[in-house]
Each structure stands twice: as structure tokens, then as C-alpha cells.
Chains A and B, each alone.
Chain A
């Protein structure tokens, strides 16, 4: 079974860059048509899809965040990464990585989440 684990700084200063990594185990990040997603949850709020990446490097971003972020993949390390520059307090959230069998509202495996506070 695929397992995902997010890692990165829990505290980021305003205007700096938020960087998170998701390590995939129990399966290859290059498997089939899988896309690998980032999803965040603001404190006490709902879920917000950030974007996803295919192992080939094709990326798809939430239009409201497009231009602000970069999602990348390292197949040699079985990892995906999220970089969000110029953060503000509004970026404080729990950040999840999730596997997506294909585009279309199908997030089947999730990491435990990484709390990131901008302060």
C-alpha cells in the first residue's frame, strides 16, 4: 500500500518561501497514470486543492494560486515538492500530499499532513 509522508519547516517567516517535500513509499512515483497532489486546510476550515504533478513533470495548478507556486518531482528519490514564495499569514495551514489515480476528484491515499505556520 502506498504511503506518503510530508516534511518541512513548521514555521516560516512572512515574505519567505514555504518548501515542503512528500516522500512516497510502497510504490513508485512513476507508476502508471498517477498524479501527486498538494492540498491544504486552513485552521478550522475546509480543504483547498493546490495542484498536482505527473511523474513526467506535467503540472496543473489551482488558478487562484497559479503564478505563486511550483510543484516538482524527483523520481530518483520518489519525492514531490512544493515551493510557495512570498508567504503571508493566509498561507498558514496543514498541507497534505495525496495520490491521485487520475484527474477527477480521486484522492485515494493521503499523507498525515504537515502544519505550517507563517509568523
Chain B
């Protein structure tokens, strides 16, 4: 059982927007603006897409955005494209005892 809760799957049609939620607790997501999101295609290593809740690394499309409210962080992908079909994982810092926790992952299907 993962520390952070994500929906198992989401889907959307090309051009649409989707949002993936990541629910934690007041000890992790709710207590730190240190949430990141990773995209993983089958057989590949994860790729950093969002960090510090809403910052994008250089080279990541601005179709990807992040936000947080209370104990829940969210990843929004706008203008869905076929290449966005992948697994997405959230991660949060959880303090100096637990350090880093991941969500269970969400499979995005582009219809």
C-alpha cells in the first residue's frame, strides 16, 4: 500500500484536459510544498515533469501543470496527445524521518 493515494486510471480524448489527484496527509503533501510528478512509459525510467508543486523542468511542455490544496496535489494535462499515454506517479517529501513517499501510480489512457 502506497503512502500517497492516486486513482488507478484516468482517460481522455485527444485535445481534452485531464487531472490526476494525489492525496496524502498533513505529514507529507499538506505540510510541504515539495510535491513532484513523474511520467513513465512502459519499460522506461520515470521522467520528472513537475517539482515543488507547480514548477516545470526545462524542456517539459507547458501543457503539464501542478497544483495543491490541503492534503491533495493535482497534475493537469491539457491538450492531451497520444504521447501522453503513460503511468504517472506523484511524490512528496514527508519530513526528516520518512523523507520521500510515492503514490501508487495512475495509468493515463488517451482514447
| Interface residues in chain A, defined as those with a beta carbon under 8 Å from any beta carbon in chain B | 37, 45-49, 52, 60, 62-63, 96, 103-108, 110-113
Contact between A47 and B36, CB atoms less than 8 A apart: no
Contact between B45 and A105, CB atoms less than 8 A apart: no
Q: Which of A105, A108, A113 contacts B57 (CB 8 A)?
A: A108
Cα A46 to Cα B89 with chains together (Å): 8
Contact between B102 and A106, CB atoms less than 8 A apart: no
Q: Which of B2, B45, B51, B104 contacts A113 (CB 8 A)?
A: B45
Contact between B45 and A110, CB atoms less than 8 A apart: yes
**Which of B10-18, B77-85, B90-98 touches A?**
B90-98
In the A-B complex, the 9 residue pairs with the smallest Cβ-Cβ separation, listed nearest first, are: A104-B34, A49-B100, A110-B45, A104-B93, A105-B36, A47-B102, A105-B91, A46-B105, A46-B104
> Chain B nearest CB: distance from A93 CB in Å?
13
Set of chain A residues within 8 Å of B102, measured between Cβ atoms: 46-49
Give per-residue flags for B31-52: 1 if the beta carbon is below 8 A from chain A beta carbons, else 0.
Answer: 0101110100000111110011
Decide yes or no whether B103 CB sits under 8 A from chain A.
Answer: yes
Decide yes or no whether B101 CB sits under 8 A from chain A.
Answer: yes
* 17 A-B pairs with C-beta separation under 8 A: A45-B104, A47-B38, A49-B99, A49-B101, A60-B99, A62-B98, A96-B45, A96-B46, A103-B93, A104-B34, A106-B52, A107-B48, A108-B48, A108-B57, A110-B45, A110-B46, A111-B45
Given A47-B89, A49-B91, A63-B98, output 5 extra A-B contacts at Cβ < 8 Å.
Answer: A46-B89, A49-B100, A104-B32, A105-B34, A110-B45
Set of chain B residues within 8 Å of A63, measured between Cβ atoms: 97-98
Scan residues 52-111 of chain B and give those whose CB is less than 8 A from a CB of chain A. 52, 57, 89, 91-93, 97-105
Contact between B47 and A105, CB atoms less than 8 A apart: no
Cα A110 to Cα B45 with chains together (Å): 7
Set of chain A residues within 8 Å of B104, measured between Cβ atoms: 45-46
Which residue in chain A gives the minimum CB-CB distance to B57?
A108
Cα A80 to Cα B37 with chains together (Å): 25
